[in-house]
A and B are shown apart, each in its own frame.
Chain A
Amino acid sequence: MTKDSHMKNLLANKMQRRTFLKWSGAIGVPVIAGGVGTKLLIDKQKEEKVASASEWDNVVSTCSINNCGGRCVVKAYVKDGVVIRVETDTQESGDPSIPPLRACVRGRNYRNVLYHPDRLKYPMKRVGKRGDGKFERISWEEAVETIASEVKRIGDKYGPESRYDNYASGQSWGLHGGSTAVRKLLSITGGFLNFRNDYSSGAGNVATPYTYGTNNSGSSFDSLLHSKYIILWGQNPSEMIFSTPYREYLMQAKRNGAKIIVIDPRYTDTAITYADEWIPILPTTDNAMMDAMGYIIITEKLHDQAFLDKYCIGFDGSHMPKGVVKEESLKSYLLGEQDGVAKTPEWAEKICGVPAEKIREIARNYATIKPAALIQGWAAQRQAYGEQFMRGGAQLACLTGNVGKLGGWAAGTGYWSRSNIVYPISYENPVKASIPCFLWTKAVEQGTEMTAADGLQGTDKLSTNIKLIFNMAGNMLINQHADINKTKQLLEDERKVEFIVVSDLFMTPSAKYADILLPGTTFFERYDIGVPWCFGDYVIFGDKTIDPLFECRNEYDVFAEIADKLGVKEQFTEGRTILDLVKESVERTRKELDPTFPTYEEFREKGVHHFKFDEPLVGFKAQIDDLENNPFETPSGKIELFSKTLWDMNQHEEIPAIAKYISSWEGPEDPLIEKFPLQLISWHYKRRCHSTYDNMPWLEEAAKQEMWLNPKDAEKRGIKDGDRVQVFNERGSLYIDVKVTPRITPGVAGIPQGAWYTPDEAGIDQRGSVNVLTSQRPTPLAKSNPQLTNLVEVKKA
Chain B
Amino acid sequence: MGQIGFYINQSICQGCKACSVACKDKNNTEVGINFRRVYTKEEGSFMHQPNGGIVHNVKSYYFSIACNHCEQPACLLSCPTGAITKSDENGVVTIDQEICAGAQLCIKACPYGGPQYNKETFKSNKCNFCMDLQEKGEDPVCVATCPLGAIEFGSIEKLRKKYGDIRQIKGMPSPTITKPNIVITPHRDAKLV
Instruction: Tell me if B14 and A746 are in contact (CB < 8 A).
Output: no
The listed residue (A103, A251, A267) touching B60 by CB distance below 8 A is A267
Query: A11-B113, A86-B25, A701-B31 are contacts. A356–B53 as well, Cβ < 8 Å?
Result: yes
Q: Name the CB-closest residue of A to B28.
A: A49
Residue tally, chain B, CB below 8 Å to A: 65
The listed residue (A20, A239, A251) touching B31 by CB distance below 8 A is A20
Instruction: Tell me if B37 and A15 are in contact (CB < 8 A).
Output: yes
The answer, yes or no, to whether A87 is at the interface (CB within 8 Å) is yes
Q: Which of A683-738 contact B (CB under 8 A)?
A: 686-687, 697-703, 710-712
Min Cβ gap B33→A in Å is 9
Residues of B within 8 A of A273 (CB): 12-15, 148
Q: Which of A314-346 contact B (CB under 8 A)?
A: 346
Which one of B27, B148, B177 has the highest number of Cβ atoms from chain A below 10 Å of its Cβ? B148
Instruction: Tell me if A280 and B51 are in contact (CB < 8 A).
Output: no
Q: Name the CB-closest residue of A to B109.
A: A3
Instruction: Tell me if A742 and B173 are in contact (CB < 8 A).
Output: no
Min Cβ gap B47→A in Å is 10
Segment at the interface with A among B38-46, B78-86, B159-167:
B38-46
Q: Name the CB-closest residue of A to B16.
A: A105
The answer, yes or no, to whether A301 is at the interface (CB within 8 Å) is no
Which one of B28, B172, B177 has the highest number of Cβ atoms from chain A below 10 Å of its Cβ? B28
Q: Name the CB-closest residue of A to B52.
A: A350
The listed residue (A21, A104, A710) touching B16 by CB distance below 8 A is A104
Min Cβ gap B124→A in Å is 16
Q: Name the CB-closest residue of A to B139.
A: A90
How far, in angstroms, from A712 to B56 measured CA to CA in the complex? 12
Min Cβ gap A355→B in Å is 3
Residues of B within 8 A of A244 (CB): 147
The answer, yes or no, to whether A358 is at the interface (CB within 8 Å) is yes
Instruction: Tell me if B52 and A85 are in contact (CB < 8 A).
Output: no
Residues of A within 8 A of B96 (CB): none
How far, in angstroms, from A697 to B32 measured CA to CA in the complex? 10
Write out, one digit per residue, whether chain B residues 162-193 have a CB within 8 A of any chain A CB (1) or not (0): 00000001111110010000000001000000
Query: A88-B144, A108-B21, A267-B58 are contacts. A4–B108 as well, Cβ < 8 Å?
Result: yes
Residues of A within 8 A of B39 (CB): 10-13
The answer, yes or no, to whether A52 is at the interface (CB within 8 Å) is yes
The listed residue (B24, B54, B60) touching A745 by CB distance below 8 A is B54
How far, in angstroms, from A567 to B44 measured CA to CA in the complex? 67
Instruction: Tell me if B136 and A53 are in contact (CB < 8 A).
Output: no
How far, in angstroms, from A363 to B119 measured CA to CA in the complex? 57
How far, in angstroms, from A306 to B42 measured CA to CA in the complex? 46
The listed residue (A87, A272, A698) touching B14 by CB distance below 8 A is A272
Q: How large is the interface on A (under 10, 10 to 19, 20 to 34, 35 or more residues)?
A: 35 or more
How far, in angstroms, from A661 to B28 measured CA to CA in the complex? 52
Min Cβ gap A246→B in Å is 11
The answer, yes or no, to whether A126 is at the interface (CB within 8 Å) is no
Q: Which of A246-261 contact B (CB under 8 A)?
A: 247-248, 251
Instruction: Tell me if B112 and A349 are in contact (CB < 8 A).
Output: no
Min Cβ gap A560→B in Å is 35
Min Cβ gap B15→A in Å is 5
How far, in angstroms, from A104 to B139 measured CA to CA in the complex? 17
The listed residue (B108, B133, B173) touching A54 by CB distance below 8 A is B133
Instruction: Tell me if B17 and A686 are in contact (CB < 8 A).
Output: yes
Query: A3-B173, A6-B173, A746-B48 are contacts. A355–B28 as well, Cβ < 8 Å?
Result: no
Write out, one digit per residue, whether chain A residues 85-112 have a CB within 8 A of any chain B CB (1) or not (0): 1111010100000000011110111010
Q: Name the CB-closest residue of A to B136.
A: A54
Q: Name the CB-closest residue of A to B18.
A: A105
Write out, one digit per residue, whether chain A residues 1-38 have a CB within 8 A of any chain B CB (1) or not (0): 00110110111111101001100000000000000000
Instruction: Tell me if B144 and A87 are in contact (CB < 8 A).
Output: yes
Min Cβ gap B145→A in Å is 7
Instruction: Tell me if A104 and B18 are in contact (CB < 8 A).
Output: yes
The listed residue (B32, B54, B171) touching A6 by CB distance below 8 A is B171
The answer, yes or no, to whether B22 is at the interface (CB within 8 Å) is yes
Min Cβ gap B138→A in Å is 8
How far, in angstroms, from A106 to B141 measured CA to CA in the complex? 15
The answer, yes or no, to whether A278 is at the interface (CB within 8 Å) is yes
The answer, yes or no, to whether A465 is at the interface (CB within 8 Å) is no
How far, in angstroms, from A598 to B113 measured CA to CA in the complex? 48
Residues of B within 8 A of A686 (CB): 15-17
Q: Name the CB-closest residue of A to B190.
A: A10
Instruction: Tell me if A710 and B46 are in contact (CB < 8 A).
Output: yes
Which one of B22, B41, B108, B169 has the highest number of Cβ atoms from chain A below 10 Å of its Cβ? B22
Query: A10-B41, A349-B51, A353-B52 are contacts. A270–B31 as well, Cβ < 8 Å?
Result: no
Q: Name the CB-closest residue of A to B172.
A: A10
The listed residue (A53, A239, A699, A743) touching B26 by CB distance below 8 A is A53
Q: Nearest 6 A-B pairs (CB), nearest first?
A: A10-B171, A355-B53, A3-B111, A54-B132, A17-B32, A273-B14
Residues of B within 8 A of A (CB): 12-18, 20-22, 24-28, 31-32, 34, 37-46, 48-49, 51-56, 58, 60-63, 108, 111-113, 132-133, 135-136, 139, 141, 144-149, 169-174, 177, 187
A-B contact pairs, 7 of them (CB 8 A): A10-B170, A10-B171, A53-B26, A85-B141, A267-B42, A269-B15, A702-B21
Besides the known contacts A272-B61, A272-B62, A350-B51, 17 further A-B residue pairs in the complex with CB atoms under 8 A apart: A11-B37, A11-B39, A12-B39, A49-B28, A54-B133, A54-B135, A102-B147, A108-B145, A247-B148, A248-B147, A251-B148, A269-B16, A273-B12, A353-B52, A355-B55, A697-B31, A698-B21
